[in-house]
């Protein structure tokens, strides 16, 4: 894909060495790349673990705007290439288990000696310090540990995971934000930074209101299915052809809902006159409303309620939402021609600058696609590069 020079992005000129894999790290470096940074993704010969699941759907979304090289970091010459990259870099990102890169000779202290201005960001499950620091983790593990899973699902059913990897996404955004502010600070001080972002910390942070309430009252949040415990009616309701989510949080919205659906009796019922009353009688209120909502088709009911300013939405599938004219008008859907896979749809980073989302300069790299190119930029001769490839220290993708 051609580089759009006219839309370089606010991080144009920032060089990033990306030793991350799977999801949290690659999303962080993708965000930096989307903002214009030059990202070099370093993979082992086996490649990122997410090249294979879902036919690569994760990988192609999380690794755009990067160039990719493949190295054997257990060999001295492979490690030397990363050190050369780091010496010229502004940012170094990794998400291995704490201690792993130190054992390879690529830890923070080593990189900082080469490049005191480096911003070295480590993303891990549990952080660089603490008893759990070397404990492996994936997104569902953190959902289970943090209290998120315990509060998600129907009251009478076991806990369930949130399907999208939201902790990974939020961790990536925290890491990218930390890197961005460190770049600003470096302009003032000339000093680099060591950043430590842990998935568990991010997950607990997302649960902060529930932690505060628990410490005050001793009460644990209960699973509430689709409902919002602090308001009612605020949950999914049945329709004639599916489900609709209604969020009538205020007294005014409640009255508007009743008028739109001809529910004068409910409107006058003193048990439902206040927000607190509706919360206390949530279940019986939901039963009464469900009898009415089942008479409508989802789209018709959505239109009817939106016309009186009641927040609601037909519960859509992925296939339905990407066909919505509004979503298509936003320009975040992007069709990319990817080798082997053909034309695929990906989603752009949803941050608009001057009226539009970031430009995709490169699709996600094939394994070792830019090895020769990057090594030439580091000063290796063609003969030296071929020797590295012949000795299986580096891999160059060949169609």
User: Kindly report the CA angle at 104 between 102 and 106, in degrees rounded to 5?
Assistant: 60
Cα dihedral 142, 148, 152, 155, rounded to 10, equals 120
User: Kindly report the CA angle at 320 between 310 and 256, in degrees rounded to 5?
Assistant: 10
Asked if residue 309 lies in contact with residue 256, where contact means CB atoms within 8 angstroms, the answer is: yes
Q: What is the pLDDT of residues 55-64, one digit of tens each?
A: 999 999 999 9
Q: What is the pLDDT of residues 260-305, one digit of tens each?
A: 999 999 999 999 999 999 999 999 999 999 999 999 999 999 999 9
Question: Does the pLDDT value for residue 3 go beyond 70?
Answer: no
Strands (E), 308-352: 312-314, 333-338, 342-347
Assigned token pair, 115? 């490049």
Question: Does the pLDDT value for residue 2 go beyond 80?
Answer: no
The pLDDT value recorded for residue 12 is 96
Q: Find the length of the chain.
A: 399
Question: Does the pLDDT value for residue 395 go beyond 50?
Answer: yes
Burial 235-257 (b: 16+ CB within 10 A, else e): bbbebeeebbbbbbbeeebbbbb
Cα dihedral 292, 298, 301, 302, rounded to 10, equals 140
The pLDDT value recorded for residue 8 is 79
Query: What percentage of the chain's residues is helix, strand, coil (to nearest 5)?
Result: 45, 15, 40
**Reported confidence tier of residue 7, pLDDT bands at 50, 70, 90:** low
Q: Where are the domains of the chain?
A: 15-206+328-395, 234-315
- Which helix (H) or strand (E) segment holds residue 119: the answer is strand 119-124
The pLDDT value recorded for residue 399 is 86
Beta strands 234-239 and 193-198 are: unpaired
d(Cα 17, Cα 96) in Å, to the nearest integer? 14
Question: Does the pLDDT value for residue 342 go beyond 80?
Answer: yes
- pLDDT averaged over the chain? 96
Q: Which residue has the tokens 């695929």?
A: 344
Q: What is the pLDDT of residues 81-119, one digit of tens each?
A: 999 999 999 999 999 999 999 999 999 999 999 999 999
d(Cα 272, Cα 291) in Å, to the nearest integer? 17
The pLDDT value recorded for residue 225 is 96
CB within 8 A of 71, min separation 6: which ones? 42, 43, 44, 78, 81, 82, 371, 393, 394, 395
Q: What is the pLDDT of residues 196-243, one digit of tens each?
A: 999 999 999 999 999 999 999 999 999 999 999 999 999 999 999 999
CB within 8 A of 121, min separation 6: which ones? 28, 91, 92, 93, 94, 175, 178, 179, 195, 197
Q: Quick check: bond before 59 cis, omega within 30?
A: no
Q: Which residue has the tokens 């080798």?
A: 339
d(Cα 39, Cα 18) in Å, to the nearest integer? 7
**Reported confidence tier of residue 259, pLDDT bands at 50, 70, 90:** very high
The pLDDT value recorded for residue 62 is 97
The domain 15-206+328-395 belongs to what CATH superfamily? Crotonobetainyl-coa:carnitine coa-transferase; domain 1 (3.40.50.10540)
Q: What is the pLDDT of residues 197-209, one digit of tens each?
A: 999 999 999 999 9
CA 357 to chain centre: 16
**Reported confidence tier of residue 355, pLDDT bands at 50, 70, 90:** confident
Determine whether 196 is an active site residue: no
d(Cα 8, Cα 252) in Å, to the nearest integer? 47
Share of the chain above pLDDT 70, in %: 98
Given 168, 196, 201, 241, the catalytic residue: 168
**Reported confidence tier of residue 4, pLDDT bands at 50, 70, 90:** very low
The pLDDT value recorded for residue 1 is 40
Q: How confident is the model over 175-182, as a mean pLDDT? A: 98
Which numeric CATH code is attached to 234-315? 3.30.1540.10
Beta bridge partners of 70: 43, 395
Assigned token pair, 217? 């009252």
- This prediction has a pTM of 0.94
The pLDDT value recorded for residue 186 is 98
DSSP 356: B
Q: Where are the alpha helices (DSSP H) in 9-146?
A: 24-34, 57-62, 76-87, 100-103, 108-114, 139-146
User: In CATH terms, are 15-206+328-395 and 234-315 the same topology?
Assistant: no
The dihedral through the CA atoms of 277, 278, 282, 284 has a sign that is: positive
């Amino acid at each position: 894909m051609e580089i759009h020079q006219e839309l370089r992005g606010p991080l144009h000129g920032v060089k990033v060495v990306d030793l991350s894999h799977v999801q949290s790290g690659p999303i962080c470096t993708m965000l930096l790349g989307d903002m214009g940074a030059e990202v070099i993704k370093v993979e082992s010969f086996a490649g990122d673990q997410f090249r294979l699941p879902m036919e690569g759907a994760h990988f192609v979304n999380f690794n755009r705007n990067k160039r990719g090289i493949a190295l054997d970091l257990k060999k001295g010459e492979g490690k030397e290439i990363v050190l050369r990259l780091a010496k010229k870099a502004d940012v170094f990102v990794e998400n291995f288990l704490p201690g792993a890169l130190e054992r390879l000779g690529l830890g923070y202290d080593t990189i900082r000696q080469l490049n005191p201005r480096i911003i070295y960001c480590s993303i891990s499950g549990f952080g660089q310090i603490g008893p759990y620091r070397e404990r492996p983790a994936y997104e569902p593990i953190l959902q289970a540990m943090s209290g998120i899973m315990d509060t998600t699902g129907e009251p009478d059913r076991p806990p369930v995971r949130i399907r999208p990897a939201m902790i990974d996404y939020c961790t990536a955004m925290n890491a990218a934000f930390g890197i961005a502010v460190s770049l600003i600070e470096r302009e003032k001080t000339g000093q680099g930074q060591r950043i430590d972002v842990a998935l568990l910390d991010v997950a607990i942070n997302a649960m902060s209101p529930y932690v505060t309430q628990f410490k005050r009252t001793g009460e644990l949040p209960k699973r509430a299915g689709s409902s919002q415990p602090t308001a009612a009616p605020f949950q999914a309701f049945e329709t004639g052809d599916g489900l609709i989510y209604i969020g009538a949080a205020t007294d005014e919205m409640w009255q508007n809902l009743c008028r739109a659906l001809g529910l004068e009796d409910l409107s006058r019922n003193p048990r439902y006159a206040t927000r607190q009353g509706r919360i206390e009688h949530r279940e019986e209120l939901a039963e009464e409303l469900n009898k009415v909502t089942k008479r409508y088709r989802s789209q018709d009911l959505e239109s009817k309620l939106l016309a009186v300013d009641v927040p609601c939405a037909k519960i859509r599938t992925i296939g339905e939402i990407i066909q919505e004219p509004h979503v298509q008008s936003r320009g975040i859907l992007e069709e990319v021609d990817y080798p082997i896979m053909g034309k695929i749809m990906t989603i752009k980073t949803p941050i608009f600058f001057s009226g539009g989302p970031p430009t995709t300069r490169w699709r996600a790299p094939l394994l070792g696609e830019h090895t020769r190119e990057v090594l030439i930029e580091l000063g290796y001769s063609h003969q030296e590069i071929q020797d590295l490839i012949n000795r299986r220290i580096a891999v160059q993708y060949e169609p």
